[in-house]
Structure 1
Amino acid sequence: MLTTLSRKMIMALTGAFLCLFLTIHFLGNLQLFMAPENARIQFNAYSHFLSNNPLIKLVSYVLYLSIIVHLIDSILITIKNKKAGTTYQQDRRKRASKWYSRNMGILGTIILIFLVIHFKNFWYVYKFGHAPLDSNGQKDLYEIVVTTFQEWWYVVIYVISMIALCYHLIHGIYSAARTFGLYHPKYVRWVKYIGITFSVVVCTGFALMPIYIFFTS
């Protein structure tokens, strides 16, 4: 039977791996800001490489497992805390913690809904759907992305989800650092600054991608 500390450690480790994946995914998707024709060639070649590389496929399975474990672990920790009565009084929590740290469940639910929609529109279509082909005979994921991002409602959902993800990451990175044992005020402060910078840069960049394509395609 895992203790609460063990579960927090697992959640911190899976969260760290998800942040690493998020960084790589972000850097790869920056190609969407290129000129359309160059973006199509580069982005499709990048997608083709990822989908056909055995090592990347293995990493993708770790990714799926990490998402599931991270989700289940967070639910179990929340249930255990409620049963143990470890919640704060409402007025004390407002003074002791930020609003997003008190609403990680809501933020996580928004992110989960977004992931389901995101996987359906991109991953499922690319892997199992009838994806169009580009001039090189490769699956044209760029065309799928552009077509999807021309829907204003999806752009709105995407931006809202990135805002939720940003706050989720800010609290998650800070909390993970404490779980890993970084309690010294000096180090915790730097972790907080780095976490905020990372969260804002990555999530803002992701949010700008559908906005850019919506107004330029």
Structure 2
Amino acid sequence: MNWFTSLFSSLNGRKLVMALTGLFLIVFLVVHLIGNLQLLKSDGGRAFNLYAEFMTTNPLIMLISYVLYISILVHVVWSAILTARNRAARGKVGYQVVKNSSHWTSRNMGILGTFIFIFIVIHMRDFWAVMHWGGINHVTYDGQEVKDLYSVVAQAFTRSWYVALYVVSMLLLAFHLWHGFASAFQTLGLHHVKYNGTIKFVGRAFAIIVPAMFALIPILMFTWR
């Protein structure tokens, strides 16, 4: 158990936890984006509703979802702890970074993460909680009755302020990923001149493309309403 205690008590251990949970959340973003893109299909919400039903009833997915919730909480808590300690020590940021790096995103990872967490709470309240416990209507596809989450999402994206909140949150996510993607690999020791450039390129491409695609969904649904 010494290694486990050290993992959560030492500075390097906490950075490692931050990196691992961060990379897990990056994988989740890809899966979540693929699911959300079903919203743009011209099928009256069929594909998205079936996707949502699968994601909330499949036992394996449900188990992974609990890992996801824990990862989010651990990532946020350790980020807050590391940010507070680093500010007090006037030292490094929460992730291990390249020496002499002074990019705005690297200096404000904690602030960006805090706003993103607030958005996650709002997002889960409006969609995840409604899907599980809300009085949501049902629709039937080929004899299978499922919850009509599509209508809930479509209704939410008729409100301009909500679309704006979503888009701004994705912008903050992009800034967070701009630094976090590559620095997570550095924390894991994957730091070498042979592949640093590739990791940096992939990370920045991911930081631009994925949040942009997330933001595009509510914008299109708002304009198509």
Normalised TM-score (structure 1): 0.92
Partners of 1:198 and 1:164 lie apart in 2 by: 14
Aligned partners of 1:18 and 1:66 also within 8 Å: yes
Show structure 2 runs of 5+ residues with no match.
1-5, 94-99
Partners of 1:155 and 1:216 lie apart in 2 by: 13
Instruction: Give the drift of 1:97.
Output: 1.5
| Correspondence for 2:146 | 138
Q: Percent identity, aligned pairs only?
A: 46
| Correspondence for 1:173 | 181
Instruction: Give the drift of 1:81.
Output: 2.0
Pair 1:20-2:14 in alignment: no
Aligned partners of 2:41 and 2:47 also within 8 Å: no
Instruction: Give the drift of 1:36.
Output: 4.4
Task: Map 1:45-64; keep pairs closer than 5 Å.
Answer: 45-64=50-69
Aligned partners of 1:177 and 1:188 also within 8 Å: no
Instruction: Give the drift of 1:21.
Output: 0.8
Corresponding residue to 1:65 among 61, 66, 70: 70
Pair 1:78-2:86 in alignment: no
State the Cα RMSD in Å: 1.5
Show structure 1 runs of 5+ residues with no match.
89-94
Pair 1:128-2:136 in alignment: no
Task: Map 1:1-217; keep pairs closer than 5 Å.
Answer: 2-37=9-44, 40-86=45-91, 96-136=101-141, 137-217=145-225
Q: 1:184 to 1:87 in 2, by over 3 A?
A: closer
Matched to 2:72, the amino acid is I
Normalised TM-score (structure 2): 0.88
DSSP-derived class of the 1:134 partner = strand
Partners of 2:204 and 2:139 lie apart in 1 by: 39
Aligned partners of 2:49 and 2:147 also within 8 Å: yes
Aligned partners of 1:100 and 1:171 also within 8 Å: yes
Aligned partners of 2:35 and 2:51 also within 8 Å: yes
Most deviating of 134-143 and 167-176: 134-143
Instruction: Give the drift of 1:135.
Output: 3.6
Instruction: Give the drift of 1:109.
Output: 1.6
Q: 1:198 to 1:87 in 2, by over 3 A?
A: closer
Aligned partners of 1:131 and 1:139 also within 8 Å: yes
DSSP-derived class of the 2:186 partner = helix
Instruction: Give the drift of 1:87.
Output: 5.6
Matched to 2:82, the amino acid is I
Aligned residues: 209
Partners of 1:87 and 1:5 lie apart in 2 by: 12
Instruction: Give the drift of 1:50.
Output: 1.1
Instruction: Give the drift of 1:34.
Output: 1.2
Aligned partners of 1:170 and 1:195 also within 8 Å: yes
Partners of 1:85 and 1:170 lie apart in 2 by: 22
